[in-house]
């Protein structure tokens, strides 16, 4: 989901939410608490949507997606998903970072979504984020 959809979403069941922030402080001010009345377990992570080798990596304030972030996401998910009936993953636009993480978690934890359908639905996902999540979880590419 994108930020706007995530903020409007009202979960009907216990939901595990992954919120992906940008390192840009101006954008971060739009991140408000999610709806839920206790129906959401929320974890926040910060990284920017830059592919490996991109020249913009030279900008120092950018936060790169690393194996440490991937490990935290996987570990937090493994520990927090119990009893949750829904998974919500969002970033600002819902096109790059969020789908990449959601697709990887679907494949790692067999969440039941068809991987081909997800790839078709989110063509702008970041392959390097997906690949690093899978590598961190012990899946070879």
**Lowest-confidence region among 35-44, 66-75, 101-110:** 35-44
How far is 27 from 50, CA to CA, in rounded Å? 16
pLDDT tens by residue, 44-60: 999 987 655 554 544 45
pTM of the model: 0.85
Which SS3 state, helix, strand or coil, does residue 24 take? coil
**Lowest-confidence region among 34-38, 86-90, 123-127, 129-133:** 34-38
Q: Which has the closest alpha carbon to 23: 72, 103, 98, 91?
A: 91
3-state helix/strand/coil string of 54-81: CHHHHCCCCCCCCHHHHHHHHHHHHHHC
How far is 4 from 127, CA to CA, in rounded Å? 24
Mean pLDDT, range 24-48, rounded to an integer? 73
How far is 141 from 128, CA to CA, in rounded Å? 11
Q: What domains can you pick out in the chain, each with its CATH number? A: 3-136 (3.90.190)
């Amino acid at each position: 989901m994108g930020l706007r959809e995530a903020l409007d979403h009202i979960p009907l069941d216990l939901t595990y939410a992954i919120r992906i922030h940008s390192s840009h402080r101006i954008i971060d001010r739009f991140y408000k608490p999610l709806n839920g009345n206790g129906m959401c377990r929320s974890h926040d992570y910060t990284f920017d949507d830059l592919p490996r080798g991109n020249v913009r990596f030279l900008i120092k304030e950018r936060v790169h997606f690393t194996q440490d972030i991937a490990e935290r996401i996987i570990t937090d998910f493994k520990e927090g998903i119990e009893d949750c009936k829904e998974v919500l993953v969002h970033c600002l636009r819902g096109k790059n970072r969020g789908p990449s993480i959601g697709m990887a978690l679907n494949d790692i934890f067999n969440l039941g979504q068809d991987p081909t359908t997800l790839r078709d639905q989110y063509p702008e996902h970041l392959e390097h984020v997906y690949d690093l999540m899978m590598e961190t979880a012990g899946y070879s590419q």
